[in-house]
Amino acid sequence: MDTQDLTRMLHTKNDSKIVLLVADGLGGLPVEPNGPTELEAARTPNLDSLAAQGVSGLSIPIKPGITPGSGPGHLGLFGYDPLKFLIGRGVLEATGIGFGVNQGDVAIRCNFCTLDANGNICDRRAGRIPTEESAPLAKLLGERVKIPGVEVIVEPVKEHRFVVIFRGEGLGAAVDDTDPQKTGVPPLAPVAHDEPSKKTAGIAQEFYSQAVKVLADQPKANGLTMRGFATKPHIPTYEEVYGVRAAAIAVYPMYKGLAKLVGMDVIGAPGTLEEEIDVLAKAWNDYDFFFVHFKYTDSRGEDGNFEAKVKMIEEFDSVLPRVAALKPDVLIVTGDHSTPAKLASHSWHPVPTLLVSDVCRPDGCTTFGEKAAICGGLGQFEAIHLMPLALANAGRLEKFGA
Ligand code: ZN
C-alpha cells in the first residue's frame, strides 16, 4: 500500500478549501558566501507573516540530489510519485502546449528538418525555422495527411518543433526515434518492439511518406524526424485519490496540461498573476482545491538574474493578502524545484515551503526563506507528502485503523 492508497481509503468530504500556491523554481542560492538567497533578499512582508502563523520546511522535489524538470516537480507536489508516473517525452511535449492527450493516444515529438535532393538530411532543425513559418506547415500536415483507421492530429510547438498524435485503437508506443542524430543520411524508418507498436510504426511510416509529399516544395522544411513516441500512463484523478474537486489556474500551457493529467479542471484564461487571483476568487465556491501557478520566479532564475528573480518573488508576495482574504482553510506556498540564479538552471536543492491552517502546529519561523525554513516544523521532507498534510489540515482524512 502506498500513500495514495491510504488517502484513497481515508479521505472524507467537508466544505473546507485548500489553496496550493506554486512559485515555479522558488528555491535559490546565495551568490556571495553568507549572502542571502533570492527569497531571503526579497522584501516579503506577507510571506513572512504567513510563516509566523504557519509551519515551514524544505521540500525535496524527487529525491536528494535529483534535479527535476517542472513535470516531475509538479507531479510530486500533486502527490503522485514522479518515479512511478513517468510521463513520456511525446506526452510531455503535447501536454506542454496544453493539448489534452487521451488514454490510448500515441504522442510523438517531431522536428522539421531539411532534406537534399536525395532525401538525406542536410539540417536536422530546418535552420531553426521561426515559429511563424513552421506553424502553418504543421497545420498543413494536419489538414492533408489522411491515414485510414486512425485520427492524425498535428500541433505546432515552437520553431522546428511540433507534435503528432495518433488516435486510434490498439496503438503501442515502443517505437524507436527516426532521428539519425546526424546529417548526410535519410531519417531512419520507425522500428517497433512489440505487436501494438508495429501498428504505430506502420502509421508513422505512412505519415512520413505523405508528409514529405505535402512539404516537397518547401525550401526550409521539407522533411521531419520523430522522437519520444509515448502513451499517457494511467493516472488516477484528484477526485479518486483525495476526494476533492480540484481546479488549476495557470498562465503557461505546460502547467495546465500537467494539472489536466491528474484530473483538475483548468479554469479561466488569466494572463497575469493578478488575473489568476481574480479567477481564484470567482471560482471560490465551485471547488475544494485550487492549484495556482506562478511562472516568472523560474524564468528569471533561468536567466541567471538574481535581482529580477527577487522582484518576481516580491510581486508574488504582493498578491497574498488577496488569497488570504478568501480565508482558505489550508494555504500552502511552495515551489516545484529550485532555480538558483547562480546556476541559471533548475537544481536539486530543497524548496522553501509553508503551510498555514487553524490546526497546524506553529514553529519559531517568523520569516520565509531557506535558512529559516530548515528550522521549521516541517523540517526537510519529500514533496509527495504535502497533499496528505494538506488534507489532514483540512480535516479531510479519517483515522487509519482502530
Ligand atoms: Zn518548474
Q: Which DSSP symbol is given to 347?
A: B
pLDDT at 204 over 90: yes
In the structure grid, which three cell numbers stand for residue 269, read together? 484564461
Q: Which residues pair with 109 in a beta bridge?
A: 163, 227
Measured in angstroms, how far is the CA atom of residue 371 from the centroid of ligand 1? 21
In the structure grid, which three cell numbers stand for residue 162, read together? 511540433
pLDDT at position 310: 98
For 26-39, the pLDDT digits (tens) are 999 999 999 999 99
Instruction: Report the pLDDT averaged over residues 319-343.
Output: 98
> Taking the model in full, what pTM does it have?
0.87
**219: Cβ contacts below 8 Å, ≥ 6 apart:** none
For 3-15, the pLDDT digits (tens) are 999 999 999 999 9
Distance, CA of 133 to CA of 57 (rounded, Å) = 47
Q: Which DSSP symbol is given to 383?
A: G
Residue 379 Ramachandran class (φ > 0 left, ψ -120 to 50 alpha, else beta):
left
Go through the chain and tell me how many residues it has: 402
Q: pLDDT tier at 257 (50, 70, 90 boundaries)? A: confident
In the structure grid, which three cell numbers stand for residue 139, read together? 497545420
For 263-279, the pLDDT digits (tens) are 999 999 999 999 999 99
Measured in angstroms, how far is the CA atom of residue 242 from the centroid of ligand 1? 23
Measured in angstroms, how far is the CA atom of residue 79 from the centroid of ligand 1? 16
Measured in angstroms, how far is the CA atom of residue 363 from the centroid of ligand 1? 28
Measured in angstroms, how far is the CA atom of residue 337 from the centroid of ligand 1? 6
Q: Is 187 helix (H, G, I), strand (E, B) or coil?
A: coil
Measured in angstroms, how far is the CA atom of residue 254 from the centroid of ligand 1? 10
Measured in angstroms, how far is the CA atom of residue 170 from the centroid of ligand 1? 34
pLDDT at 291 over 90: yes
Q: Distance of CA 244 to CAs 138, 148, 291, Å?
A: 38, 41, 12
Nearest Cα to 91, choosing from 78, 76, 75, 103?
103
Measured in angstroms, how far is the CA atom of residue 71 from the centroid of ligand 1? 7
Neighbours of 69 (CB within 10 A): 16
Measured in angstroms, how far is the CA atom of residue 185 from the centroid of ligand 1? 37
Please report how the helices 253-261 and 89-96 are oriented relative to each other, as an axis angle in degrees rounded to 10. 120
Return phi, psi of residue 295, to 5°. Answer: -90, -30
Measured in angstroms, how far is the CA atom of residue 346 from the centroid of ligand 1? 8
Check: CB of residue 26 under 8 Å from CB of residue 309. no
Pairing of strands 106-115, 223-230: antiparallel
Measured in angstroms, how far is the CA atom of residue 127 from the centroid of ligand 1? 28
Alpha helices, DSSP H only, in 319-374?
320-325, 370-374
Distance, CA of 369 to CA of 39 (rounded, Å) = 6
pLDDT at 92 over 90: no
For 106-164, the pLDDT digits (tens) are 999 999 999 999 999 999 999 999 999 999 999 999 999 999 999 999 999 989 999 99
Measured in angstroms, how far is the CA atom of residue 23 from the centroid of ligand 1? 8
Q: Is 294 helix (H, G, I), strand (E, B) or coil?
A: strand
Q: What whole-number percentage of the chain has pLDDT above 90?
A: 91
Neighbours of 121 (CB within 10 A): 24
Cell 489534452 -> residue: 100
pLDDT at position 89: 85
Measured in angstroms, how far is the CA atom of residue 69 from the centroid of ligand 1? 6
In the structure grid, which three cell numbers stand for residue 95, read together? 501536454
